[in-house]
Amino acid sequence: MDDAVVQTHEEALSAGDGARVRVTHVRGARTGHPPVVYLPGMFTARNFWISATGIGLAAYLAQQGFPGLVVERRRTGCGGRPGLEDHLTQDLPLVQDLVERTWKRPAFWMGHSFGGVLAARATADCLDQSRVLGLVLFAAQFEVGKRGLHPPVSWLTNLVSRSLGRFPARRLGLGPMDEPPEAMEDAVRQVTEGRRKPDIRESLRRVEVPVLAISGLGDRVDPTEGCERLISHFSSTDKRFLAAGRKTGFLEDYDHPGIVVSKPAQQEIWPLVLDWLIHRIPAN
């Protein structure tokens, strides 16, 4: 296999409630490094991490020897409740089991936006943390902004979702994937209860693995203040937070998707992530 070629194949996982969840294996010519589990955010799916033409952060890291597993969330008609909480508590432990069967070694977990929040919550509550090598979180938070997921606007969000049978993200220009009403209800609950009640914040204190969190200074969806606040709840002693923008020495003030998928991100964010991962590979 040429070093630039990345191979993928799909697999469906079956959860205890009958739901089926799609995962995509990503492998490059180089091997030997630990695997990386990728969780997309709301309104996106597999193509956020690796496109149909084999371009993306997951492909880049696979070419550098880090095989990957891109996890997609539940969708309407999956066979179970297509909510975020169901994905968190039922699907992500299955993903960790698959990692163990496939590679027989711990993995790094990486998430964008709510995918990053789910990766952190799973590490705190649902996964064997001794099998998590570290977290890489892009634009991940729930405590600042997000007016559409917080009362009173969230009442309209849920009403629209239930009335249409989906949240029309594509029509609203929010992303390429509409979301099930159940996922939107869980997102609203995560934001509302995460701010009003201490439970989620206190649970995050159980996170002790190394963490790299990156926020874009041009991000109006998940502002830097909230992203830094998220990892402040962790008990990790190895924590690095980066606010990526011109005033901090980066090529641009990165926006919400651009922190991962833009050409400038390919030039300076991807290599930074690669270096962080390499320096946290356990010694044999």
Q: What is the per-residue DSSP string for 60-115?
A: HHHHTT--EEEEPPP-TTSSS---HHHIIIIIHHHHHHHHHHHHSS-EEEEEETHH
| Count of the separate structural domains present in the chain | 1
Q: Please name which of 273, 260, 215, 269 lies closest in space to residue 49, comparing C-alpha atoms.
A: 260
Residue 158 within any structural domain of the chain: no
What DSSP element (H or E) covers 26?
strand 20-28
Phi, psi (rounded to 5 degrees) for 142: -140, 5
164 part of a folded domain: no
Between CA 277 and CA 61 the distance in angstroms is 10
3-state secondary structure 231-282: HHCCCCCCEEEEEECHHHCCCCCCCCCHHHHCHHHHHHHHHHHHHHHHCCCC
| CA 107/CA 103 separation, integer angstroms | 9
What residues make up the domain containing 63? 6-143+198-278
Which residues have CB under 8 Å from 268's CB, separation 6+? Answer: 250, 251
Cβ proximity of 55 and 49 under 8 Å? no
Q: What is the pLDDT of residue 3?
A: 65
CA dist., res. 82 & res. 259, Å (int): 27
How far is 263 from 91, CA to CA, in rounded Å? 32
Residue 203 included in any domain? yes
- Residue 2: per-residue pLDDT: 60
Quote the CA–CA distance of 42 and 74 in Å, as a whole number.
Answer: 11
261: domain CATH number is 3.40.50.1820
pLDDT along the chain (284 residues), means of 10: 80 94 93 95 95 95 97 93 96 97 97 98 98 98 91 89 92 91 94 92 97 97 97 98 98 97 97 98 86
- On whether residue 187 sits in a domain, the answer given is no
Q: What confidence score (pLDDT) does residue 5 get?
A: 82
What predicted TM-score, i.e. pTM, was given to this entire model?
A: 0.96
Q: Does residue 240 form part of some domain?
A: yes
Q: Which residues contact 75 (CB under 8 A, 6 or more apart)?
A: 82, 180
Query: In this structure, is residue 185 part of a structural domain?
Result: no
Q: Specify burial of residue 102 (Cβ count, 10 A radius: 0-12, 13-18, 19+).
A: middle
Burial of 31 (0-12, 13-18, 19+ CB in 10 A): exposed
CA 273 to chain centroid: 14
Asked whether residue 108 is domain-assigned, the answer is yes
